[in-house]
Amino acid sequence: MSTKRFTLMSFALMLLLSVVLAGCGGGKENAAPAKEEEAVQSDGTVDVSKLDPVKLKLYLIGPNQKDLPMVQEKINEYLTEKINVTLDINMIDWGDYSQRMQVITSSGENYDIAFSSSWAFDYLPNAAKGAFMPLNDLLDQYGEGIVEVLDPRFLEGTKVNGVNYGIPANKELAQQFVWRFNKEYVDKYNLDISNVTTLEDLEPLLKTIKDNETADIIPLAVPKSFKPYMPFDYQLGDEIPIGMYIDTEDFKFVNVLESPELKAALTTMREYYKAGYVREDIATLDGIDNFKTGKWLVDREITQPYADLGWSRNAGYEIVTRPMHDPVIYTSSAAGSMMVISSYSKNPERSMMFLNLLNTDAELRNMIQYGLEGTHYTKLDGPYIEDLPAMQENFAMPGFALGNMYLTYLHEGEPEDKWDAFEKFNSSAIVAPTFGFNFDTGPVKTEVAAITNVAKEFIPALYTGSVDPETYLPKAKQKFKDAGIDKVIAEAQKQFDEWKASNQ
């Protein structure tokens, strides 16, 4: 063996030995990084020294906020101390969110966490096609705090074939529609709203405003998205007329267009349209600025405990409400606001550790919603804050989309028992008959696409009273049948019966 070759082998052996000895010596700067499971202690605390730094890319719904970089810097300082994580927060505006996230998902981009829901970046179809990571094991390992604080019906109602793909926000679980009134006109005409529940109950109030106010005051201020409340558990949203009666005894899906309840509501809306109680252009009206102008009597909204106070604060005038029905827990309401981990994420463990903090750590949760004390808000006594101008101007984040609402500060005037009231609201609700069932539209995707197009053609004009239901309802029924609604109903029934049999 040559001297040169011997020297090289000796050097290699010494180098290998030095690496092994360094590892055994436990020098912190040279130690191999431990995995996340080794960093989580038996008491749930995290040994940050065992974690490599990780940057998580997070997509949130809502307009970009001028002060986000400033707040993000403070959030990252906090998260670095807690779990050695920094965030790259990206906001996508309301109207663009679903489409942009579909493009991002289709491209295979390596993002980590995103907002999803039953109405934006749709949770169910994206979970079904593999866009989101299964979370059951991650919840067990790194989401213990989430499981402890979250109403279990949130996680149960958002499972897809027994698997959780998202973390719902802890907020109102039930859904309840209310008639929302501008109190100025209620008081001005001494209107009795105590017994107003149905669409028909509104008639004398609407007539009073129409007969006594100027034309710019809208009696019933609703846009083309308005749907009369129907006692149905819908499967594809209330745009598509497939549902099961809330009080069903036979657990059968029906074509809502064929129900006597809808026929009566359409007749009433047609009368209101002809009487001038709604805007003439309602069928093409994407939105309505009544909330800003104050020139309206009543509209329709989904409520939550003490919602009147928040609406009044935002409007700058007093708003009062009357419920249309008892609160109901739907599958869609459980999935109304969620955080998902991308199936392309390279950091699923750390992502879940972050989501666990977001749902259990009040300081982090309030920082991501309200920004910085002294800059965006003033801290008052107890759980209360007062907004500073910079919050509305530069950091108005959508709080419902940011995790556990029960951790958030209250505004002056809100009752201190607000979050207790949320729990009571959820506890008092009835459970929809298909709660937990998720309809896989794959076998009938062609028909679903076809009836969706029919809905766009007929529903806005029909439901807003812009056309005569005596003429247009039969046409709509036939169009939906031609597009395959009966096949979709049959497939939904088949899947539901199988699901119900396996979930007795």
Query: What is the mean pLDDT of the segment spanning 72-85?
Result: 97
Q: Looking at the domain assignment, is residue 409 inside a domain?
A: yes
β 232-234/159-160 pair status: unpaired
Instruction: Work out the pLDDT band at 37, boundaries 50, 70, 90.
Output: confident
Query: What is the mean pLDDT of the segment spanning 332-355?
Result: 95
Helix (H, G, I), strand (E, B) or coil at 246: coil
Q: Looking at the domain assignment, is residue 130 inside a domain?
A: yes
Query: What is the mean pLDDT of the segment spanning 233-262?
Result: 95
Higher pLDDT, 353 or 20: 353
Q: What is the CATH number of the domain that holds 104?
A: 3.40.190.10
Contact indicator for 290, 296 with CB cutoff of 8 Å: yes
Higher pLDDT, 436 or 3: 436
pLDDT value at 88 more than 90:
yes
pLDDT value at 54 more than 70:
yes
Contact indicator for 374, 391 with CB cutoff of 8 Å: no
β 430-431/328-329 pair status: parallel
Token couple for 478: 């036939």
DSSP code for 256: G
pLDDT value at 94 more than 50:
yes
Q: Which residue, chain included where needed, has tokens 């149960």?
A: 156
In whole angstroms, give the CA distance from residue 337 to residue 168.
6
Query: Helix and strand tally (H, E) in the chain?
Result: 21, 19
Contact indicator for 57, 104 with CB cutoff of 8 Å: no
pLDDT in tens, 2-17: 333 333 333 333 333 3
Instruction: Work out the pLDDT band at 373, boundaries 50, 70, 90.
Output: very high
- What backbone phi and psi angles, to 5 degrees, belong to 146? -60, -50
pLDDT at 491: 98
Q: Looking at the domain assignment, is residue 71 inside a domain?
A: yes
pLDDT at 488: 98
Q: Looking at the domain assignment, is residue 407 inside a domain?
A: yes
Please give the tally of structural domains in the chain.
1
How many CA atoms are closer than 13 Å to the CA of 212, on its beta-carbon side? Answer: 13
In whole angstroms, give the CA distance from residue 359 to residue 168.
10
Q: Looking at the domain assignment, is residue 224 inside a domain?
A: no
37-51, 89-103, 185-199, 246-260: least confidently modelled range:
37-51
Q: Percent of the chain scored above 90 by pLDDT? A: 80
- What backbone phi and psi angles, to 5 degrees, belong to 255? -85, 110
Contact indicator for 445, 455 with CB cutoff of 8 Å: no
DSSP code for 432: P
pLDDT at 21: 31
pLDDT at 323: 96
Instruction: Work out the pLDDT band at 27, boundaries 50, 70, 90.
Output: very low
Provide the Cα torsion 405, 411, 417, 422; round to 10°. Answer: -40
Q: Which domain range does residue 143 map to?
A: 51-171+330-421
Query: What is the mean pLDDT of the segment spanning 273-284?
Result: 95
- Return the exposure string of 365-376: e unless at least 16 CB atoms fall within 10 Å of the residue's CB, then b: bbbbbbbbeebb
pLDDT at 28: 32
Q: Looking at the domain assignment, is residue 184 inside a domain?
A: no
pLDDT value at 215 more than 90:
yes
pLDDT in tens, 416-425: 999 999 999 9
Token couple for 491: 């497939």
- Sheet containing strand 113-116, edge to edge, reads 85-92, 54-61, 113-116, 338-341, 167-168
pLDDT in tens, 131-164: 999 999 999 999 999 999 999 999 999 998 889 9
Q: Looking at the domain assignment, is residue 466 inside a domain?
A: no
Q: Give the CA distances from residue 288 to residues 226, 283, 285, 294, 302, in Å, rounded to whole numbers and listed in that order.
A: 11, 12, 7, 11, 16
Contact indicator for 288, 392 with CB cutoff of 8 Å: no
Q: Looking at the domain assignment, is residue 356 inside a domain?
A: yes
In whole angstroms, give the CA distance from residue 112 to residue 97.
16
